[in-house]
């Protein structure tokens, strides 16, 4: 009976919250009609905006467009419903790394905030007692957000290719059964997450020397139950390396040795500094040299493991960490994985690679077809002497609303690039924190949506003028008073 009462209480709380969301949105719903013209090509409808990626960035972008009365929008995601993003796939932290009071997808609507959802689900006292939001709850919050806003998502759609055809984007998707789908769109937003501008990185000496069943990247599906009783090596100093080390230990690994190239574990988290309105809202307006210097410092600092994540590992006596111990070679010997380090060779049964991702548009299927046409930072900016960064130089150099810019203005693909908006972690050097970061999402989403709306309105300026010239709806309908 108690369980039934609790279920009814939760359902009642969420129902009340759903009603509050709809009331809030109705109150601020002005203007109250869509304004973009409906187009078709070859008998098929043309979307104003196609969004690839139904994680937090893609969902929030669709909502922001709805707020701007741009409703001819659709979101596509390769995952099944509920499996979008990292939160229940390869994220292995217990909680988010951001403070619980972070906002973002809500776009300033109180009833849509994570806090409002959490209190409706668990109660106000539970929120007060909460330290950070569990990652499974964050996914549940996003699932609720999608449902209460009735966002138009098509799952099981892997984006494969884009072509420029007489002023429109022709998109090709494929489902898990191999069936091909085509979609016309005026604008394309890539909200494909932290690795959206490249690929997860595994060093060549690992990939070339070890059987595939003896190593995994932190982004891979890993059956941790199979690591019980095994000696595990983890390469990397970031939070995800520690998350995977802890997960292996909790699954019964005999030992975990985490090795990092740095002499000390990073301790300063630049993301906490970046969480100020000035930086989040106005970073893209800085001159290139200042943006470069900000990002060199931020990328050099790296993101350390949160304190609770570090203690999650250290509470296990079979955990060890080794600084100044980057891996330089690997081989198989007598059934062991043997890695070379400055401290000598180390032997493991299985290794987990936490070396992040490589920024390379040519390695990502969504961008490979036009990667050679995109301007990178190395094409647009020469850093002052002694301030080089090959990492930053490889990132795309973006326009004011996240659009790709051409390396060569005469490139036939230059017009197409202006219609493809890069709302991924790869936008960070140009735009600051944005779609792949909860901390900066609200500011980034609003900037992106304003840019999309501006472009659509300007492109249709003559259409809107003609609409005005043909506007004949009378407001004054009678010259006689009603009581006459």
Can you read off the two tokens belonging to residue 430? 């140009």
Same structural domain, 173 and 206: no
Same structural domain, 52 and 92: yes
Q: Which residues of the chain have pLDDT under 70?
A: 1-9, 435, 484
**Domain-located, residue 162:** yes
CATH number at residue 314: 3.50.50.60
Contact 199, 185 (CB under 8 A): no
Closest CA to 309 of 99, 130, 87, 97: 97
User: 359-415: per-residue pLDDT in tens?
Assistant: 999 999 899 999 999 999 999 999 999 999 999 999 999 999 999 999 999 999 999
Same structural domain, 168 and 136: yes
Residues of 255-285 as b/e, b for ≥16 C-beta within 10 angstroms?
bbbbbbbeeeebeebbbeebbeeebbbebbe
CA–CA dist 197, 368 (Å, integer)? 10
Same structural domain, 121 and 217: no
Q: Per this entry, what is the length of the chain? A: 484
How many alpha carbons fall within 13 Å on the CB side of residue 91? 19
Same structural domain, 79 and 219: no
Can you read off the two tokens belonging to residue 318? 């079979």
**Domain-located, residue 396:** yes
What is the extent of the structural domain holding 340? 202-267+304-355
Of all helices (H) and strands (E), which one includes residue 256?
strand 255-259
If one counts the domains in the chain, the total is: 2
Can you read off the two tokens belonging to residue 402? 């996240």
**Domain-located, residue 386:** yes
CA–CA dist 124, 321 (Å, integer)? 40
**Domain-located, residue 121:** yes
Same structural domain, 398 and 327: no
Same structural domain, 225 and 328: yes
Of all helices (H) and strands (E), which one includes residue 118?
helix 114-122
Assign residue 334 a region (left: φ > 0; alpha: ψ between -120 and 50; beta: otherwise).
left
Three-state DSSP class for residue 215: strand
- Angle between helix axes 461-469 and 441-459 (nearest 10 degrees) is 60
Contact 66, 149 (CB under 8 A): yes
CA–CA dist 156, 80 (Å, integer)? 6
Same structural domain, 146 and 239: no
Closest CA to 440 of 145, 134, 56, 73: 56
**Domain-located, residue 292:** no
How many alpha carbons fall within 13 Å on the CB side of residue 129? 6
CA quadruple 185, 191, 192, 196: dihedral sign: positive
In terms of Cβ atoms closer than 10 Å to its own Cβ (0-12, 13-18, 19+), residue 225 is exposed
Same structural domain, 32 and 124: yes
User: Read out DSSP for 339-405?
Assistant: EE-TT--EEESEEEE---EEE-GGGSTTTGGGGGGBPBHHHH--PPTT---HHHHTSB-B-TTSBB-
Backbone angles phi, psi at 110, to 5 degrees: -55, -40
**Domain-located, residue 218:** yes
Of all helices (H) and strands (E), which one includes residue 258?
strand 255-259
How high is the pLDDT of residue 435? 67
Of all helices (H) and strands (E), which one includes residue 462?
helix 461-469
pTM as predicted: 0.94
- Angle between helix axes 135-148 and 114-122 (nearest 10 degrees) is 100
In terms of Cβ atoms closer than 10 Å to its own Cβ (0-12, 13-18, 19+), residue 294 is middle
How high is the pLDDT of residue 231? 98
Greatest CA span in the chain, whole angstroms? 104
Same structural domain, 341 and 457: no
Same structural domain, 19 and 51: yes
**Domain-located, residue 64:** yes
**Domain-located, residue 298:** no
Contact 405, 397 (CB under 8 A): yes
Contact 381, 397 (CB under 8 A): yes
Same structural domain, 80 and 107: yes
CA–CA dist 61, 64 (Å, integer)? 5
């Amino acid at each position: 009976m108690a369980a039934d009462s609790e279920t009814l209480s939760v359902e009642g709380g969420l129902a009340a919250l759903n009603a509050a969301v709809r009331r809030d949105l109705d109150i601020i719903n002005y203007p109250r009609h869509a304004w973009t013209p409906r187009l078709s090509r070859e008998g098929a409808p043309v979307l104003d905006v196609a969004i690839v990626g139904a994680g937090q960035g893609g969902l929030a972008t669709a909502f922001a467009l709805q707020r701007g009365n741009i409703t001819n929008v659709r979101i596509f995601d390769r995952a099944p419903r509920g499996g979008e993003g990292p939160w229940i796939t390869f994220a292995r932290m217990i909680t988010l790394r951001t403070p619980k009071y972070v906002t973002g997808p809500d776009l300033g609507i109180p009833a849509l905030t994570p806090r409002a959802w959490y209190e409706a689900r668990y109660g106000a006292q539970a929120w007060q007692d909460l330290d950070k939001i569990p990652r499974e709850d964050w996914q549940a919050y996003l699932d609720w957000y999608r449902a209460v806003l009735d966002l138009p998502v098509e799952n099981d759609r892997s984006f494969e290719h884009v072509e420029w055809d007489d002023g429109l984007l022709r998109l090709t998707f494929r489902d898990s059964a191999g069936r091909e789908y085509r979609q016309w769109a005026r604008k394309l937003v890539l909200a494909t997450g932290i690795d959206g501008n490249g690929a997860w990185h595994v060093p060549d000496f690992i990939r070339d020397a070890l059987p595939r069943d003896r190593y995994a990247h932190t982004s891979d599906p890993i059956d941790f139950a199979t690591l019980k009783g095994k000696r595990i090596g983890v390469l990397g100093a970031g939070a995800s390396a520690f998350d995977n080390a802890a997960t292996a230990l909790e699954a019964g690994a005999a030992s975990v040795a985490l090795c990092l190239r740095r002499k000390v574990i990073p301790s300063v988290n630049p993301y906490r500094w970046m969480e100020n309105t000035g930086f989040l809202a106005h970073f893209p307006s800085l001159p290139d040299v200042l943006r470069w210097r900000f990002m060199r410092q931020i990328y050099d600092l790296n993101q350390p493991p949160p304190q609770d994540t570090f203690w999650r590992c250290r509470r296990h006596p079979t955990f060890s960490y080794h600084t100044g111990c980057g891996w330089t070679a690997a081989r198989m010997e007598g059934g062991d994985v043997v890695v070379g380090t400055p401290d000598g060779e180390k032997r493991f049964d299985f290794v987990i690679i936490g070396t992040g991702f490589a920024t390379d548009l040519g390695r990502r299927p969504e961008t490979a077809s036009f990667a050679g046409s995109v301007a990178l930072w190395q094409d647009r900016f020469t850093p002052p002497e002694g301030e080089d960064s090959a990492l930053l130089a490889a990132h795309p150099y973006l326009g004011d609303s996240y659009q790709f810019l051409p390396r060569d203005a005469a490139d036939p693909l230059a017009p197409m690039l202006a219609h493809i908006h890069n709302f991924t972690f790869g936008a960070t050097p140009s735009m600051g924190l944005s779609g792949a970061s909860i901390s900066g999402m609200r500011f980034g989403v609003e900037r992106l949506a304003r840019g999309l709306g501006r472009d659509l309105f300007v492109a249709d300026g003559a259409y809107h003028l003609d609409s005005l010239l043909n506007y004949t709806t009378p407001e004054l309908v009678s010259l006689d008073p009603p009581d006459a």
